[in-house]
Structure 1
Amino acid sequence: MFYFDRSFIILIPALLVAAYAQYKVSSTFNNYSRYTSRNGYTGSQVARMLLDASGLYDVPVELIPGKLSDHYDPGARVMRLSQEVYYGNSVASIGVAAHETGHAIQHKERYFPLVLRNSIVPIANFGSNASWILFILGFMFGIRGLVSLGIILFTGVVVFQLVTLPVELNASSRALKILERRSILYGDELEGARKVLGAAAMTYVAAALTAIANLLRLIYISRDRD
């Protein structure tokens, strides 16, 4: 099976970056979860404050299970925060809550990279599920068209991951500026939130690198079998 051939070497650097990114985001979040903010606001309170300040009164803030499962759902127009962030009054919790609020503001303002990302979500989801299946079937039955289609579909996954980068970085930038401007976090607290969001950004960089590496692997395998 070509899953275990020499092409796997292409993935190794990206997998190492991904492993480090996961370690970094977990350790950084856990570290700054121990630092209670001076104002004592919880993540849900900060999210509500920032949403209301942006005129997003109709966007609810809901509790969701899981650790670091926080996200803004543009389809339902709902902010969902994990228990640690929702109830937490740490620098880490506030930073994450503000970041997700940044996405809600992007959605309101129709920030172009977010609009583009949302528009290609169905393509990316289909491509991530179907690309390898089509690729494998193409090799099994010697159908070159299926191999090429698999590569094309996976290219959509790569585009999605690349577009995600400016969306996430912009949301973090917005969050830090708002936290500073509204005096929700101060000095060293703001720096702590910056480190938490910076570590989180590494996971998106790692995801993009992994997607690119997988695409290169598909191309390499297809040419190696010609």
Structure 2
Amino acid sequence: MFLFYDWTFIILIPALVISAWAQMKVSSTFNKYSRVSSINGYTGAQVARMLLDAEGLYDVPVEEIHGKLTDHYDPRNRVMRLSRDVYYGTSVASIGVAAHETGHAIQHQRHYAPLQIRSSIVPVVNFSSNASWLIFLLGMFMGSSYLINIGIFLFTAVVIFQLVTLPVEFNASSRALNVLEQRNVLYGDEVRGAKAVLSAAAMTYVAAALTAILQLVRLIALSRDE
């Protein structure tokens, strides 16, 4: 029956709806505030460099990376990578995103526990995310509850990773907004605009966590039908 009809897909519907909304929200919010130039006229790269240097992180380079909203801090190589729009942009959105990634670098420097946990389980999650479904489906095909349970157990690592990601991202945004205001990089409505961009981005992580949780519930439901 599993091969022809999967009723458990309805479990994912709330997550799919929220994920689609979150993606549209972050895109529309970023585009909106990309058209709002900051008073100081700093680029995202300049803000990132300024904030990194203020924390003594002179050895963390700021590099340009291809793509849109592909910005990230790489804790393994200690490199900050900003997309072209953010790297050269002088908008409230560009500065907010650059400051957010700086927040991750500061977390790394200060040994922020959730970031350390997330970084330490990345290899496990990379394996689990690929192997869990393969092992689970093999177990379903063979009628092996042992393999099914292994698949579910492996996917649990994905859920844990997504849950740990939430405080990492929210904390980075909080650090970013505080430092932007304290150092007068942005003012008044500009800070509120940056907050709107980062809040919208945070919803994508909430959606990802919800998707992982409901996917785990789905696997358990499928295993009960086996």
Answering whether residue 162 of structure 2 is matched by residue 147 of structure 1, we say no
Other-structure match for 2:169? 168
**Residue deviations 1:139-178 (CA, integer Å, cap 9, x gap):** 1112211100000000000000000000000000000000
The residue aligned with 1:14 is 15
What's the offset of the Cα at 1:193?
A: 0.1
Superposed counterparts of 1:111-150, under 5 Å: 111-150=112-151
C-alpha distance in structure 1 between counterparts of 2:77 and 2:117, whole Å: 18
SS at match of 1:63: strand
The letter of the residue matching 2:70 is S
Q: SS state of the match for residue 116, structure 1?
A: helix
Q: Which residue of 2 aligns with 1:210?
A: 211
Structure 1's consecutive aligned runs of 4 or more residues displaced over 2 angstroms after TM superposition are 1-4
Distance 1:188 1:90 in 2: 13
Q: TM-score, normalised by structure 2?
A: 0.98
What CA deviation, in whole Å up to 9, does each residue of 1:48-88 have, x standing for no partner?
A: 00000000000000000000000000000000000000000
* Matched residue, 1:49: 50
Q: Which runs of 5+ in 2 are unaligned?
A: none
Corresponding letter in the other structure for 1:216? V
Q: Which amino acid aligns with 1:35?
A: V
- The residue number in structure 2 matching 1:83 is 84
* Farther off after superposition, 29-38 or 139-148: 139-148
- Identical residues among aligned pairs (%): 70
Query: What's the TM-score once normalised by structure 1's chain length?
Result: 0.98
Task: Report the AA paired with residue 34 of structure 2.
Answer: S
Partners of 1:6 and 1:93 in 2: how far apart?
A: 43
Partner of 1:69, secondary structure, is coil
1:22-37 superposed matches below 5 A: 22-37=23-38
Q: Which residue of 1 aligns with 2:220?
A: 219
Root-mean-square deviation (CA), in Å?
0.9
